[in-house]
Amino acid sequence: MLFANSFPKSGTHLLTQVLQGFPRLGPAADSGLPAVVTFEGDTGQARPAAAILADLKRFLPGDIGYGHLHAMPEVVDRLCQAGFAAYFILRDPRDVVVSHVHYITEMEPNHIHHAYYTNELRTFDERLRTSILGLPGVEIPFPDIAARFAPFLGWLELPAVLTLRFEDFIQDRAETLGRVFDHAVTRGFASRLERSAAIAVLEASIDPQRSPTFRSGKVGSWRARFSPDNTRLFKQVAGDLLVRLGYERNLDW
């Protein structure tokens, strides 16, 4: 099984499209199953681990799936077992919060926070502050960006899971696709094509216009949207998150 896991708004559909190129390489098939998620999008409620595992058990050998899953022990055990090639894609959290604003306000009217973002928050800056700081006082709390990322950090420590950056697909696509292919082979995928031909197939499978949530796909767009106050708030909330993820060397950015 090939599974694309991600922090939301970090390139989920990009990575999924790459994995959807694997049926042209060997024994793999697009499952057609919906995303496996930790939270229900329309209610914000956390799903029980048993329900998440039930979703994962629906996948057959060779299936391709995707989702947004915390590194819970039961989920880790499932995705790291023999025969599974799991990937985790992340993105600069500063770009994530900018993308999050556009997604909630413009692309997903059924999201639990859509009404608040569109009716209560009047400017992009107010919405960006909320995506950074969260909404701790509501009935179903919406944590700040650091707290939202914390349950995903465990994926970065697992040799059986390949961690990828959205930015690498933009800035060094061939090398990144090679890593995707190599990881699948290491985890047991039998390719009919040799490596360079396989990488070309995976690259040809990328089509941003097929992504229902694709907006710009740019790297570093946060610089045009962050005010000095946004920067201060992000540093205050996120602490050393950017350093831990390799996006900054220190807090002086």
The CATH number covering residue 47 comes to 3.40.50.300
Query: Do 79 and 170 share a domain, yes or no?
Result: yes
Query: Do 195 and 87 share a domain, yes or no?
Result: yes
In a domain, 104, yes or no: yes
- Find, among 67, 73, 113, the residue nearest to 86 by Cα: 67
Among the ranges given (14-28, 48-62, 76-90, 214-228), the one the predictor scored with the smallest mean pLDDT: 214-228
Query: Do 80 and 8 share a domain, yes or no?
Result: yes
Count CA atoms closer than 13 A to 139's CA, side-chain side: 6
- What region, left, alpha or beta, does residue 107 occupy, with left being phi > 0 and alpha being psi -120 to 50 degrees? alpha
Q: What is the tens place of the pLDDT at every residue in 16-49?
A: 999 999 999 999 999 999 999 999 877 888 999 9
In a domain, 252, yes or no: no
Query: Do 201 and 76 share a domain, yes or no?
Result: yes
What pLDDT does 214 receive? 44
In a domain, 197, yes or no: yes
In a domain, 250, yes or no: no
Q: Please provide the average confidence, as pLDDT, over all residues in the chain.
A: 93
- Find, among 125, 146, 122, the residue nearest to 136 by Cα: 146
Question: What domain range is 100 assigned to?
Answer: 93-148+216-244
pLDDT surpasses 80 at 75: yes
In a domain, 29, yes or no: yes
In percent, how much of the chain has pLDDT > 90? Answer: 85
Query: Do 229 and 135 share a domain, yes or no?
Result: yes
Query: Do 45 and 125 share a domain, yes or no?
Result: no
Could you give the CA distance from residue 6 to residue 87 in angstroms, rounded to a whole number?
8
What pLDDT does 44 receive? 81
- Domains contained in the chain, number: 2
In a domain, 253, yes or no: no
Could you give the CA distance from residue 62 to residue 55 in angstroms, rounded to a whole number?
16
In the predicted model, what is the mean pLDDT of residues 43-61?
A: 94
Q: Which residues contact 228 (CB under 8 A, 6 or more apart)?
A: none
Element (H, E) at 4: strand 2-6
Count CA atoms closer than 13 A to 188's CA, side-chain side: 13
Query: Do 37 and 67 share a domain, yes or no?
Result: yes
Query: Do 18 and 39 share a domain, yes or no?
Result: yes
Q: What is the tens place of the pLDDT at every residue in 201-227?
A: 999 999 877 654 444 567 899 999 999
In a domain, 249, yes or no: no
- Give just the sign of the alpha carbon dihedral 34, 50, 47, 22: negative
Query: Do 205 and 178 share a domain, yes or no?
Result: yes
What pLDDT does 137 receive? 77
Query: Do 129 and 36 share a domain, yes or no?
Result: no
Element (H, E) at 158: none
Query: Do 104 and 71 share a domain, yes or no?
Result: no
In a domain, 143, yes or no: yes
pLDDT band at 138 (very low <50, low <70, confident <90, very high): confident
Query: Do 62 and 154 share a domain, yes or no?
Result: yes
pTM, to two decimals: 0.92
